[in-house]
Amino acid sequence: MRARKQVPQRPARPAPECEDCGAQVWWAWSLHGKCWVALAPEAYPIEGRSGTYEVWRDPHGGLLCRYSAPGERGEMDRPFRGLHHNARCGTWARDVTSALAREAEAAVPAMTDGDLAALEHRLRGVLATVAAEAERRQGAA
């Protein structure tokens, strides 16, 4: 007798509140990461620049999502943009950028010349993004 093939199942959806800050979150199943993604409970226009996820409802009323660069639009029915909850949760931005800097500095001694050049190129891109955002915010004020 042959064993039945198991159908992959999603893990249970987490609680609707953030464990760190207690804020309400929307949980969406990520098609790319195959995991639950905590989103801020706000829907943004799909054509807008806010939010890094394209989000839509599945046939059962749940939320599905996939990473989508600003201005990109997928082919799903009635999608909207979602913002990861971490962008609004406490000290996340500061903690993540500090950890990124520490990790990059620790990796530098072990990098090849090509790796160093690639890192320098990417960091210049990050600096350009930071400068453009700061300039945009100053212009909006």
pLDDT tens across 92-135, in order?
778 888 888 899 899 999 999 999 999 999 999 999 999 999 99
Say how far apart CA 61 and CA 70 lie, in whole Å.
25
Q: Is the pLDDT of residue 21 over 90?
A: no
Say how far apart CA 21 and CA 88 lie, in whole Å.
10
With CA atoms as reference, report the closest residue to 68 among 84, 78, 54, 86: 54
Tell me the whole-structure pTM to 2 decimals: 0.63
pLDDT tens across 31-47, in order?
888 899 999 999 988 88
Cβ pair 82, 43 in contact under 8 A: yes
Backbone angles phi, psi at 4, to 5 degrees: -75, 140
pLDDT tens across 57-78, in order?
988 888 999 998 877 777 788 8
- The residue extents of the domains of the chain are 26-88, 92-140
Alpha helix ranges (H) inside the chain: 92-107, 113-140
More confident residue, 115 or 4: 115
